[in-house]
Structure 1
Amino acid sequence: MQTDFKINATTNKFQRFLDRRISTRELVFLSLVVLCLSPLITPPMALFLGIIIAQFVGHPYLHLNHKATHILLQISVVGLGFGMNVQTAIHAGKQGIVFTIFSIIATLTIGYLLGKIFKIDKKSSFLISAGTAICGGSAIAAVAPVIKAEEKQMSVALGTVFLLNSVALFLFPMIGHSLHLSQIQFGIWSAIAIHDTSSVVGAASKYGTQALEIATTVKLARALWIIPVAFGATFLFKNKGGKVKIPWFIGIFILAMIANTYLPFVQMCSHTITLIAKAGLTLTLFLIGCGLNRKMLASVGVRPLIQGIVLWIFISCAGLWAVMSFV
């Protein structure tokens, strides 16, 4: 009897869901989701549409947005691995590793000093610095539980990073073309200087196929620095019980790349998989834009935003000088 009651209750809930009328806001949102999966929408355009939705329409499923973007980004990045070659990735990783090490150490150091100068609370300052130094929102999400950051501190850091990501997605390809950067130079520079993997891939895919391959490889190698930085944070903040989130999807990305390099039957469908992955990343950027509403932007505050901008300008200019001088 109890089982029948549960089944009937579930059926009634599902029926009520089917009978519910879709609001205009939901219809607009879902229509744009479908549109972003088509070749008609570029990554920057998807982000711009998302920001418009956030400001004037509203995200009808905002409570699900963070989890959706997190999962969709990881799946899409793994999909890109099916379009890459191991030898090319190793070569790109070797070129980017020196820039990666120096830029991470310098960014964390300068971020610490700026936090002191602007009198930003220690945890917010460290989250902004880690997000700028490594891989944006993923680094913040991994480090926050380790240092036991509060929701407000996470919101400040994420808001700062996502806002600057939006600017970078439009600005970086323009700068790259104006300075006549090669595909290799732009790929390394964008991986170093743009915070989130989604925006790195969006900017690099607009610049060219080779830039996309190099940028993705260097950025994911950079993302592995989440682990030592997170472990270091446990001692810095004296939270020895903090749990470190290891980005396992990077391992799956490497397996996908190996499969594409050595398995002929994988190579036969790699083009289709990468096209789907790129559509997934375009949708990810749309959803990120949808999350940039007024409330989230207002939570950032002036001083943390200044810290984020100064750090971003430093790593962008230093990275640009390095790739133009040595690559």
Structure 2
Amino acid sequence: MNRLKQLAPGLLFTAAMALPGYLLGLLIPFIGAPIFSMAIGIIWNHTLRKPAACKAGITFTSKKILQWSIIAMGCGLNLRQVWETGTASLTVTLCTLATAFIVAFLVGKLLKMEGHMQTLVGAGTAICGGSAIAAVAPIIEAKEMQIALSISTIFLYNIVAALFFPPLGHVMGLSDLGFGLWAGSAINDTSSVVAAGYTYSEAAGQYATIVKLTRSTFIIPICIFLAVLVSMKRRKEGTAGTGSGASLIRIIPWFILYFLAASLLHTVGVIPDALVPYTTFAGKYMIDMALFSIGLAVDFRQLVKTGAKPVLLGGIVWISVILVCLAVQFATGKV
């Protein structure tokens, strides 16, 4: 009960502030409610103070409500569709994963950056933005400043992607599924994937979300691989480290399993088709709430202070992923 009292002001605040974005999205669907909601949050953060009593609820909305929104969207999907989309996107996903880590390593060396920064930016770009960075950081024992810089860098390109991917998709004439595959594979964070996808179209949003969740599961093997590398390095150096002891339970993105469970319930008829429009609306509105909350965390003034190298590294890695993703899609006819 105390936890609910702590969260309630922020939840009510984000729910109320998502309404303007939702209404603007109805008036101008080409831009979409998620983009408007995020923009309103960014403008608020640079012009007004966030209500102190709302801090806990805002943080909760940006993380947990976003996950719940994806689970709600899963209520309208067929599990066979989820499986087919996940397997169809596997080639693109593997190519973009390899590209992100290889380019991050090579460019990081060229820029003479610390190895941890290369790994963090590579993981954030390859898998799932800030979530991947948060999972990888304790394994490689990254410093707080390195974590902050890498998350800020990734977040900057999330904003750029959410704003510019939909119009670029239209310029290239991508189909709904082609855009969904591109957005789900080449945009860093789940929130921006969802924003860009559903701005493009309903079908693109569904496809992009499934592709992104499939990509997010790679956080598990990547973290295990890094843990093994760190452990081998410690043994070779004859030193003890705590990074390789990161818990597998903590690494697993559990909300993906709940998303699959929701899809299964709809597939077998436990969630009837008549209920789907309501779960879809709830999911979309929660997305708007989450995007407003995430917009409140954007501080361009802080990004200016971080220096050019992390931003340059993140930009080069991200552009490489975008181009490789498009190249593979055109080569395989998935546009």
What TM-score comes out, normalization by structure 2 length?
0.84
Match of 1:153 among 146, 157, 177: 146
Per the TM alignment, residue 237 of structure 1 is displaced from its structure 2 partner at its CA by 3.3
Q: Note the 1:21-170 alignment, pairs <5 A.
A: 31-36=16-21, 40=26, 42-61=33-52, 63-64=55-56, 65-170=58-163
Partner secondary structure for residue 261 of structure 2? helix
The count of residues paired between Structure 1 and Structure 2 equals 304
Residue in 1 aligned with 2:239?
Answer: none
Would the aligned equivalents of 1:147 and 1:242 in 2 still touch at CA under 8 Å? no
Is this contact kept in 2: 1:29–1:59, CA < 8 A? no
| Residue 89 of structure 1, CA deviation | 1.6
> 1:157, 1:97 → 2: CA distance?
26
1:241 to 245, 252, 255: 245
Contact 1:36 1:283 in 2 (8 A): no
With over 3 angstroms needed to count, the CA separation of the structure-2 counterparts of 1:271 and 1:120, relative to structure 1, is same
> Among residues 181, 185, 194, which one is paired with 2:187 in the alignment?
194
Task: From the CA coordinates, give the structure whose radius of gyration is larger.
Answer: 1
Question: Are 1:207 and 2:200 counterparts?
Answer: yes
Cα deviation for residue 140 of structure 1 reads 1.1
Structure 2 partner of 1:287: 293
**1:36: how far off?**
4.2
The one-character-per-residue Cα deviations of 1:207-258 (angstroms, maximum 9, x if unpaired) are 1122112111111011000001111121333432223421111001000001
- The aligned amino acid for 2:306 is V
| 2:267 pairs with one of 257, 261, 264 | 261
- Measured after TM superposition, the shift of residue 186 of structure 1 is 0.5
Give 1:314's aligned residue: 320
CA deviation map 1:276-317 (0-9, x unaligned)? 111111111111111012454245321010000001111111
Deviation of 1:29 (Å): 7.4
**SS of equivalent residue, structure 2 residue 89:** helix
Taking the aligned partners of 2:81 and 2:121, their CA distance within structure 1 comes to: 32
CA contact (8 A) 1:132 1:161 kept: yes
Partner Cα separation in structure 1 for residue 13 and residue 117 of structure 2:
35
Deviation of the 1:101 alpha carbon: 1.1
For the Cα contact (< 8 Å) 2:120–2:136, is it kept in 1? yes
Q: Percent identity?
A: 32
Shift of 1:82: 0.5
Choose which of 177, 184, 192 in structure 1 pairs with 2:177: 184
Gaps of 5+ in 1: 1-9, 15-21
- The 1:67–1:302 alpha-carbon spacing in structure 2 relative to 1, beyond 3 Å, is farther
User: Shift of residue 42 of structure 1?
Assistant: 0.8
Matched to 1:113, the amino acid is L
In 2: Cα distance, 1:273 partner to 1:100 partner: 29
Check the 8 A contact 1:134/1:195 in 2, yes or no. yes
Q: Give the distance between the partners of 1:213 and 1:68, measured in 2 at CA.
A: 21
In 2: Cα distance, 1:30 partner to 1:262 partner? 32
Structure 1: distance between partners of 2:143 and 2:59: 17
The 1:297–1:67 alpha-carbon spacing in structure 2 relative to 1, beyond 3 Å, is farther
Aligned AA (2:260):
I
Deviation at 1:141, TM superposition (A): 1.6
Cα separation, partners in 2 of 1:29 and 1:243, compared to 1, 3 Å: closer
Q: Summarize the Cα distance change of 1:156–1:47 in structure 2 as closer, same or farther, 3 Å threshold.
A: same
Structure 2 gaps, min length 5: 27-31, 232-242
Return the alpha-carbon distance in structure 1 between the equivalents of residues 147 and 305 of structure 2: 10
Q: What root-mean-square deviation, in Å, do the aligned CA atoms of Structure 1 and Structure 2 show?
A: 2.3
Please state how far the C-alpha of 1:175 moved relative to its aligned partner.
0.8
Q: Aligned in 2, Cα 1:299/1:276: closer, same or farther, shift over 3 Å?
A: farther
